[in-house]
Chains A and B, each alone.
Chain A
């Protein structure tokens, strides 16, 4: 059974830092691209960052670029999100999400197929 378990959330002051972790099990973590997706209170889903299986490709949303760093440790089957210079608008539930690609013929259809339960980050003074 695929499991993604986030930890590390909490209350932090504006300008502060926080590090989220995600422990993965039930699949070959070292072969999977991974993402962080967040949801602000009462708002929709926002993609935050992506990291390829071997960490060679890393992508960020403009809203977090330069402040957040996504990383992974395949030996520990863990995904991380280092968040610095946090702002009130970073408040939300942060999900660890697996990237999946189903290939048929010459086309692959990507999706986010497994989601963790989320870790709550609150940025407030």
Chain B
């Protein structure tokens, strides 16, 4: 199974900040990586797929990069609605399809 490790697990930031979340895969997954945002009481939503392709309707302050085993999600100019938990997911080799453990982004 391919393991995904996100860092950090917890992140505290302020409105207007730029933050970066890293996702490392235990083996190469090309660019078959997606990022999701999850808020309490709401279904997760797709932000990025193909490592860097922005899902329709997602603000351009979100961006993704990477390939192989190391990936990053960057959020520029943090907005109040961005405080949530973020997950990476690999869809390269399955089953199983695996998620990272999540990164919780809190307001400082």
List residues of chain A with CB under 8 Å of any chain B CB: 35, 44-47, 50, 59-62, 95, 100, 102, 104, 107, 109-113, 115-118
Contact = CB atoms under 8 A, between A and B. Distances in A.
Interface string B13-31: 0000000000000000001
A102 B53 contact: yes
Contact of B96 (A47, A102, A104, A110): A47
Given A45-B44, A45-B87, A111 B98 contact: no
Contacts of B45: 115
Contacts of A112: 34, 36, 44, 46, 89
Interface of B: 31-32, 34, 36, 38, 42-46, 49-50, 53, 55, 87, 89, 91, 94-102
B91 A111 contact: yes
Mostly, the A contact residues are strand
Mostly, the B contact residues are loop
A112 B49 CA distance: 9
B32 A109 contact: yes
A100 B91 CA distance: 11
B34 A111 contact: yes
9 contacts: A47-B98, A102-B53, A109-B31, A109-B32, A113-B46, A115-B45, A117-B42, A117-B43, A118-B43
A113 B97 CA distance: 15
B95 A61 contact: yes
A47 B98 CA distance: 7
Contact of B44 (A102, A104, A110, A115): A115
A111 B46 contact: yes
A44 B99 contact: yes
Contacts of A45: 36, 38, 44, 87, 89, 99, 102
A1 to B, nearest CB: 12
Given A44-B102, A46-B99, 16 more contacts: A44-B87, A45-B36, A45-B44, A45-B87, A59-B95, A61-B96, A62-B95, A100-B49, A102-B49, A109-B31, A110-B32, A112-B89, A113-B49, A113-B55, A116-B43, A118-B43
